[in-house]
Amino acid sequence: MSTVVRAPATIANVGPGFDVFGLAVDGFHDVVKAREADGVRIVTEDSIPTDPERNTAGRVALMMVEEFDLPGVTLEIGKGVPVGGLGSSAASAVAAAVAIDREFGLGLEESELLRFAAEGERAAAGEPHYDNVAPCLLGGFVIWRSEREYRRLEVPGDLGFVTVTPIGVRVTTEEARKVLRERPPSLDDVVNNLSAVALMVAAIAEGDAETFARLIGQDRISEPVRRRFVPRYGELREAAYGAGALGFAISGAGPTVFAVCWREDAEDVKTALEDALSGKCVSAIHGVSEGVEVA
């Protein structure tokens, strides 16, 4: 007996929704296979720690084994989500939590799965990213406020999301947070993001995909201080809009960036972004994901 779970990549912030918005996208998935065993063991062919204490999925497993008095679990992990702003560790954490829940028939509530995945991330990575964890589990577009206050919404229209992860660039979440605390946004920037966030939600509710997409490019909290972590940020932005993108922003803490566009323009946008980085990137076209799935 074993359970195989696929968990998608996620775009945190989604432009102006700093620490609040998250979007699940298809195309990149982590796969976790859980099988009952003695103790917790990590098996993987990817270059990630196999010590459960130092592995996000491992930390989730250790907590769940402890809390539910389980004999133990072997997790086979296949990383499909690139590292660097696409919720890679959240994907492993969510996949592990759901796989263990199913494998042992725990029947956990959504809120408990969220808690285990987020706490696993906190233990392994220093802090939980609910704006990745929640959309990864729930799919679609998520507004996150707290464990008891969040919403999942459907993204309207025929939008494509093009992600580009520059090769050989690492941004730690600590670094990305530090620069923001050193240069907090002005009141005008805050008002800009407040109105953008409010209108994005209103646009989703009305099925107005274009307004939603255009506002994604209007962030003034994260972008001004984090663009320095993205090589050729200005060129990438210009290339995206030049190729028909409706919006462009940093994904999570970066260095991944993403453009949102009509589906029919996605190939052009992807090519333009790849060219701007002279091909030194991982890139893909995504639709919206329905969230974690048991294979």
Give residues in contact with a copy of itself (CB under 8 A). 16-21, 143-145, 149, 151, 153, 180-181, 184-187, 190-191, 193-202, 205, 211, 221
Least separation in angstroms between residue 187's CB and a copy of itself is 5
Residue 176 or 284: the one with the smaller Cβ distance to a copy of itself is: 176
- How far is Cα 17 from Cα 239, in angstroms, rounded to an integer? 23
Residue 139 or 185: the one with the smaller Cβ distance to a copy of itself is: 185
Least separation in angstroms between residue 205's CB and a copy of itself is 3
- How far is Cα 200 from Cα 214, in angstroms, rounded to an integer? 9
Least separation in angstroms between residue 25's CB and a copy of itself is 19
CA angle 281, 141, 24 (to 5 degrees): 35
Torsion of CA 237, 243, 245, 248, to 10 degrees: -10
Residue 3 or 222: the one with the smaller Cβ distance to a copy of itself is: 222
Least separation in angstroms between residue 190's CB and a copy of itself is 5
Q: Which of 104, 131, 128 is nearest to 116 (CA)?
A: 128
Residue 172 or 186: the one with the smaller Cβ distance to a copy of itself is: 186
Q: Which of 17, 264, 247, 11 is nearest to 139 (CA)?
A: 11
Question: 173 catalytic, yes or no?
Answer: yes
Q: Which two tokens stand for residue 47?
A: 């270059």
Are 236 and 276 in contact by the 8 Å Cβ rule? The answer is yes
Least separation in angstroms between residue 218's CB and a copy of itself is 9
Helix and strand element counts for the chain (H, E): 10, 11
Least separation in angstroms between residue 229's CB and a copy of itself is 17
Determine which one of 173, 211, 238, 271 is catalytic: 173
Residue 21 or 28: the one with the smaller Cβ distance to a copy of itself is: 21
Q: Which of 289, 215, 177, 227 is nearest to 14 (CA)?
A: 215
Three-class secondary structure of residue 219 per DSSP: coil
CA distances from residue 143 to 125, 235, 268, 284, 295 in whole angstroms, order as listed: 22, 30, 30, 24, 27
Residue 101 or 131: the one with the smaller Cβ distance to a copy of itself is: 131
Determine which one of 121, 165, 223, 256 is catalytic: 121
- How far is Cα 57 from Cα 60, in angstroms, rounded to an integer? 5
> Which residues are the active-site residues?
121, 173
